Structures are given as C-alpha cells and as structure tokens.
Amino acid sequence: MKISAIPYILITTAILVMVAIFAALDFPFGWIFYLTVLGEAFLIFTVFRVLKDAYTTTKTFEDFYEDNPVGRAQ
C-alpha cells in the first residue's frame, strides 16, 4: 500500500514547529542545529513526495476555485 504525502507534511511541520519552540526556550545550540538540519531534510523529501504523488483530478483551470466552480454548470 502506498503512503500518501500527508503524513510527511505533518511530520515536517511538527519538526519545524519544534525548532521554533526550542529556539524560544533557549535550548542548547546543538539540539536546535540538528533539528533544523533534520527539518530541512524532511522538507526536501516532503516536496519530492508531494510532487511525485499519484494524485489525479478532473478539475481544470476553467473550473476556477474548487469550492466555487464557475467554468462548468453543475
């Protein structure tokens, strides 16, 4: 079973929020540095997973916004 990109987005967000919290709480520099490096690696991997995800849709640019389609009559 293929895992979607959503868990990777959540993990990356959690890591980068932890970086901000650790920096605000004056954690040691080593912890913040390595967590930042880990967060950046996860960010690059997450972008790769999102772009390579097998997501398909029937929407086109003519549909405008998904919640307010103006291109096609419903």
Residue 35 pLDDT class (50, 70, 90 cuts): very high
Mean residue pLDDT of the chain comes to 83
Share of the chain above pLDDT 70, in %: 78
Closest-CA residue to 18 (of 34, 6, 5): 34
The more confident residue out of 15 and 6 is: 15
More confident residue, 5 or 72: 5
Q: Does residue 9 have a pLDDT over 80?
A: yes
**What mean pLDDT comes out for the span 31-57?**
89
Q: Per-domain residue ranges for the chain? A: 27-52
| Sequential DSSP letters for 1-69 | ----SHHHHHHHHHHHHHHHHHHHTT--HHHHHHHHHHHHHHHHHHHHHHHHS----S--GGGEETTEE
